[in-house]
Structure 1
């Protein structure tokens, strides 16, 4: 999956939506009829394009640079204001259209259309546009001081490719998973397949690669398979590159073949009647044709050959598999603690620091069974003996804590990064739900519809589009099925959604400042736990709120 196709800043999709609304037929006709200053709107359009040109660079730099993150928040606020203004123009255009079609039948409909343009004032609208332009001018002047570059091609965060090597003594809690996969590998016939493809599926950071490494280096595996090869496939699926790595791995020689056909012919000869194990780590490709090309020489291997595919996408797993997916679960709290101790305490004896142990236990619970998060926080605190520093990490969310090292749990960040632009906004909106909240697909789709987050489709109803969006996020492990009913988000994924949505989504279950409450666009609270009404006075100053969502005490939107 090419990053430049599906990457891009969260704001880019928002800007595109504002462009589309400004260019709609109804709005253009209305502007002509009311003689609004069209040059102002054209200037706004150009300014938004100027902002969009640096968004890719800004989104990448915000992770390490807090000033860029603040700049993006200010830009997003202005773009929201521009969208509010276009909504007002849209609404007034609709009002005039209904009045023009039928004065007698339209009055009841008009009563339900809210707009600040009860008496349309052209000068007020033009003043608002000029104010937005001034703010955009000021914000865009700062981009040079922040070192933001125009036209930077969107690219994924740099990652070190995985290898087959693993320190087994540093792995905890995966013995049962290892034995379950080994049972499949060491059986010559799994489900009647000559060559079995076994997907290991789970959310980013849950330990899929580590489990595959343990299996790959098992003595039983070494004795059972004649040929082994490990490939870190990653986000860019290249049939030639992957085939070449496998060929070079099994021949232990550098290959200078540049033709795919010759390369696959040579690989086929090496595999004929040989029992092999290939591990394809971190696969994102959803194109079945490309997968089919890759595996064509594999079919010449001996019966009982196996391919392990690690992926966070159920869609990918279902495409490649011919046995059931192996869904990797979170680690137990006790195993997470052992992992944390190894990375956080280093040469320090934990028993000598009971205050650190107490805070450390809380940090481990915060990671909710994700070993990458445990390892990341442990690394941040390695050999740190100051309890205040441990408390600071505990009080911050994990994204802010790891940002200073540009670690930001890269595996989970990529799950967001590679979302199509239109899904980034849908995912960010889900930060409106508190942690552990159970929600239903149908109700979330209605919320997306209410915010105009679903792309229009000629042959599909909005509910069908929403269903597709939801299933995509579910397949990427950003949503999880709850064991009782409905769906939920892992706490770290919820933190990720909050990180990318910034201050424009506010939950009243947390702390918030006066300024945040004034500019939030989407707000939720749990019924039965709403703060003292005096604390809500600030909200009455908010003139831009788009969502005010009371959530049921029993974690259901239906409540």
Structure 2
């Protein structure tokens, strides 16, 4: 609230905050002051913060990785004189200065959301974001665009259940280490034609990337880190919108496709090992 009111210079603006209907909010899980602070964010920051509904409570995220996700989802506005990454970093710093994020006590390069703030993006994105094993519903809504799961809930992870019906999923990603895919890997890659972000990092039984990966024409970020793949299929080179390809800690990886140069929008290719 202090950050919000600091940007208001007139008495009438302060009075508008005081008289806001949000103070009458009856949702017991949401603090009105936090909802009010969110409502006063610029639209581009609202989108970026709402996307953080993917993260479970106490989840520690890397600043650059989050910015990359924003870029892949097309949340970062284009600017003639600045790189997209620089603009994304400005967005992040704006949210950090407003206390929507805070630095982790464990790792200097990581950030977290306070538990109370974690409820806010989920409230905003209730119909389009689903966290498997965290959100206690009977099925996954067909309106879901963002899907994530924590591996400590692997007992709930059985072929994704009704996620087969979520045709327009934009983001699919795990939020923890080491998981086992109980459905066909080929099915996983072929079901979701509108994916922007696909992460199968740390999938313990991923040894081969299926040719169907080339059908994900909208894909902008593909993370295959910490898997046992040996190569990428040539069909990967038809992902013309791909901007980010992560192959970190893939010890069995022997070769890349010969036509990788066709990925003209690729801006980041990672081969980090041993971190």
TM-score (norm 2): 0.54
1:458 maps to 80
Residues 149 and 173, structure 2, Cα contact 8 Å, conserved in 1: yes
Q: Please, which runs of 5 or more residues in structure 2 have no aligned partner?
A: 15-22, 179-201, 203-222, 227-275
In structure 2, relative to structure 1, the CA distance for the partners of 1:524 and 1:399 (3 Å cut) is farther
The alpha carbon displacement at 1:416 in A equals: 0.5
In structure 2, relative to structure 1, the CA distance for the partners of 1:534 and 1:455 (3 Å cut) is same
Q: Secondary structure in 2 aligned to 1:502?
A: coil
Q: Map residues 102-501 of structure 1 onto 2, 5 A cutoff.
A: 236-238=8-10, 400-401=27-28, 408-485=30-107, 486-501=110-125
Task: Let me know the Cα RMSD of the aligned residues.
Answer: 3.3
In structure 2, relative to structure 1, the CA distance for the partners of 1:435 and 1:528 (3 Å cut) is closer
In structure 2, relative to structure 1, the CA distance for the partners of 1:427 and 1:552 (3 Å cut) is same
Q: List per-residue Cα deviations over 1:217-276 (Å, max 9, x = no partner).
A: xxxxxxxxxxxxxxxx676313xx69xxxxxxxxxxxxxxxxxxxxxxxxxxxxxxxxxx
The alpha carbon displacement at 1:202 in A equals: 7.2
Residues 130 and 140, structure 2, Cα contact 8 Å, conserved in 1: no
The alpha carbon displacement at 1:467 in A equals: 0.3
The alpha carbon displacement at 1:515 in A equals: 5.0
Q: Confirm or deny that 1:512 pairs with 2:137.
A: yes
Q: Secondary structure in 1 aligned to 2:91?
A: helix
Residues 203 and 478, structure 1, Cα contact 8 Å, conserved in 2: no
CA distance in 1, matches of 2:158, 2:106: 37
The alpha carbon displacement at 1:448 in A equals: 0.5
Q: How many residues align?
A: 170
Q: Confirm or deny that 1:529 pairs with 2:153.
A: yes
Q: List per-residue Cα deviations over 1:334-383 (Å, max 9, x = no partner).
A: xxxxxxxxxxxxxxxxxxxxxxxxxxxxxxxxxxxxxxxxxx9xxxxxxx
Q: Secondary structure in 2 aligned to 1:530?
A: helix
Q: List per-residue Cα deviations over 1:434-459 (Å, max 9, x = no partner).
A: 00000011000011111111001111
1:542 maps to 166
- RCO greater where, 1 or 2, for CA within 8 Å and sep 6 or more? 1
Q: Secondary structure in 1 aligned to 2:154?
A: coil
Q: Secondary structure in 2 aligned to 1:519?
A: coil
CA distance in 2, matches of 1:431, 1:451: 14
Q: Which runs of 4+ in 1 moved over 6 A?
A: 201-204, 556-559
Q: Please, which runs of 5 or more residues in structure 1 have no aligned partner?
A: 1-200, 205-232, 243-281, 283-375, 377-397, 403-407
The alpha carbon displacement at 1:528 in A equals: 4.7
Residues 521 and 544, structure 1, Cα contact 8 Å, conserved in 2: yes
